[in-house]
Structures are given as C-alpha cells and as structure tokens.
Amino acid sequence: MVITHTKASIEEMEKAWHGDIEYVLKSLYSHEYVYECAVLKTCNRVEVYVVSPKASSVLFHFAKEMGASSHIVEFYDHEDSLKHLLRLASGLESMIVGEDQILGQIKDLYTTAKNVGTIGPALDTAFSKAIQVGKKARTETRINKGSVSIGSAAVDLADEILGGLTGKNILVIGTGEMGTLVARALAHKDMDVVYLANRTFETAKQLAEEIGGDAVLFDNIDECIRNADVVISATAAPHFVLRKSTIEKAIDGRNKELLLIDIATPRDIEPGVSDIGHVKLHNIDSLRRINEKNMEMRRGEAKKVEALIEEEFELLNTQYKRQKADGLISQLYGQVHNVREREKQRAINRLSSYHTIGDIESEVLDDLTHSIVNKILAEPTKKLRKATENDEDELMDTASRLFNLDNKK
C-alpha cells in the first residue's frame, strides 16, 4: 500500500497517519493473516508492506481504518511491490529524484521492523536486495550527481521566489536531519546571516559553527523572525511550532515580505499564517516544480538506473524461486532423515540383542543410511530446483502432496 506526494497533498498524508512506527507495525502484525510487515514513513510518503495470503483485503481495511481517501492510495501486487521498492531505494520514486536520504530511511525502517520482530524471510530478502540495489545505483550511475534533498530543494525554492538570497537573513528552525540538510545547503549561498534555532541550544550551536551561522535560543525566535527574510522550519515536533499569532506579533510594524517554508511532517507552521499580509507560506507541496527541473537534469541517468533495476529484479525473482525450492527440499530432507534416524536406531537395537555394537559399527551404520538418503534425494532435488526456475508449480504441488509437505513455506 502506497501513499505518496504524486497523488496526496501534505495535508492528506498527515490525516493518513496515526501513532508511531512501532505501534503501526504491532497493530498490523497482530492480524491473523499478516505473516510479515514493514512500514515506511517520511515527509512525503506512507508505505506499508505485508506478506499475507489476503494482502489486498488486509491493506484495504487498514487504509480504511487510517481514514485514507481512496483517490490517494495505491495497492501493488507482489511483483509491482518489489519493483517499487527497488525504484524507491534507488531514488527514482523520490520527490527529488536521486536524493540519498531515502536509502538511509529505508535502512532505518528495516532495522525498526526487525527489532519489533515483524520481518521474516520474504521481507528480509526484499529489503536486503533493495538496499544493495540502492547502493549500486549510486555507485554505477550518476543519478545522485550533485544530489539534492528536500532540505536543499527548500533552499532552491527560496532562491527562486526571492530572485536570489544575496544579503538575505535566513532563520532555520530545527537542526535534526532535515534542518541540517537545509543549513548545509545554505552554507553555499551568499547570504547576510543564517540563524539556527533548536530546542537543544548546544545542537544548534554545533551546526552553526560548522556552517558559519549563528545559533539562537529557541525562546528568542520571535526577534529572529522580525529580522528574517526567510524562515525554513524542519522540526520533528508533533504540533505547530509557529502559530498565526506568533507571526503576526513578530512582523507587526514591518513592511517587507516574509517567506515561510515548512518542510516538516506533521507541519510546523499553522496554515492560517498565509492570511497575514506580507507573508508567503509554502510547504512540501510547493517543491514539486523543483523536482521537475531536477528530473530533467537526471533523465539520462534515470534510464540507466531503470535498466539496472530490471536486471536486479530478475535476480531477486530467481532468489525467491530458489528459496521456495530450498524450503520444500529442506522439509523433504528433514522428513526422510527422521525416518533414517529411526530405522538406523532400530537396526542398532536389533543388532545389539546379538552382540555388542561399538562406536565404529554405529558410525558405519550412520554413514551408510546418510549416504543412501542423499543419493536417493539427489535427483528429486535437482528436479524441484529446476521446476521452480521454470515456474512449474504443478510439479512443486505434486511433490508437496506426495510427501505431505507445506508448499507455502
């Protein structure tokens, strides 16, 4: 299930999310038909991956429970989900094509889901391959050449709107991952001064020293807003950081325009501030035009990445097929070896009634029975592996019924 910036506004994505990642994972995993699950939540996407015999039904009801409007939700089948994940990790599905941040976010979500215990062999294979392909796309192509992020795109947007940032005062609120990207992008611009505000002053101070800006106490941002030309807010706060009343008070008496750019999810700036005179408010939805320019520059590299993804997708499918065969073969070997062990022990017991059986005799019997089993199963093993590679599901099903194996593992 996918909800992204391509169909949903920032407001719609906010409404389609409730609770934290761990809560959502546990909630999904508690469903009787969900065997594995993972969730990705970023500033411009909500994605849910499940391994389930009734995936469509589970995800449809989950989207309904989240209150996500049907026109913003996309549902993918098995193959489309895998291709989408590979494209996502490679930067092709990002609002800013080729950005590197998404790969780190996928790694984080994968780790979180593993720690919660909702990742199994199917998703482990998919996410491991996606991370590998994401790295490969960035080393074998130039998709991330001069790579930009949401943070640097916000700076480009300000530059475009104001016709340049030379001599401007900029206030950045928040010095987490996104705020740091904003600050570092600003470090390359010819501005008057960059003010950095964060709840933890020391964090703001460290980043300010790195980029040559000034750290300010969070409680003093009103004065900074009064003197600022641009405010870019990127905190992780669950509530509005800048309210309409705060902005009205801060700009009272000034005539020059104030540009506000909100790249936080949930939003940092109360939407009502756009009603204030001399104030322009933009959010992540406004960055789409920056992406259009970015996509034009990277179109050639994107084709190379798409070709790489097709190759890796085939390898991933082959890997899944082998795992399916290996699972069935493992069950078969386990079943036959259990019989071998019982019959070997029965033979030892019978022989022991006539004379003493020592370690050497036991070892010979063990080697003999082990060798017989392996020789008998060698050809069926080859046939089953070949069958999965050629999508001969009928043979797999026949073997499952014949030996009473679980073909779903």
Spatial distance between the Cα atoms of 63 and 3, rounded to a whole number of angstroms: 10
Only one residue has tokens 């046939």, namely 383
Strands 2-4 and 45-51, by their bridges, are antiparallel
Strands 214-217 and 230-233, by their bridges, are unpaired
Angle of CA points 243, 267, 20, to nearest 5°: 125
Catalytic residue among 8, 38, 43, 103: 43
CA distances from 200 to 173, 204, 232 (A): 11, 7, 17
Spatial distance between the Cα atoms of 106 and 122, rounded to a whole number of angstroms: 16
Alpha helices in 73-120 (DSSP H): 78-89, 101-116
Contact 315, 126 (CB under 8 A): no
Spatial distance between the Cα atoms of 34 and 125, rounded to a whole number of angstroms: 17
b vs e for 181-199, b when ≥16 Cβ sit within 10 Å of the residue's Cβ? bbbbbbeebebeebbbbbb
Contact 139, 334 (CB under 8 A): no
Contact 381, 331 (CB under 8 A): no
Q: Name the β-bridge partners of 242.
A: 269
Residue 43 designated active-site: yes
**Token digits for 284?**
């992540």
Collapsed DSSP state (helix, strand, coil) of residue 228: coil
Only one residue has tokens 């386990």, namely 334
Give the catalytic positions in this structure: 43
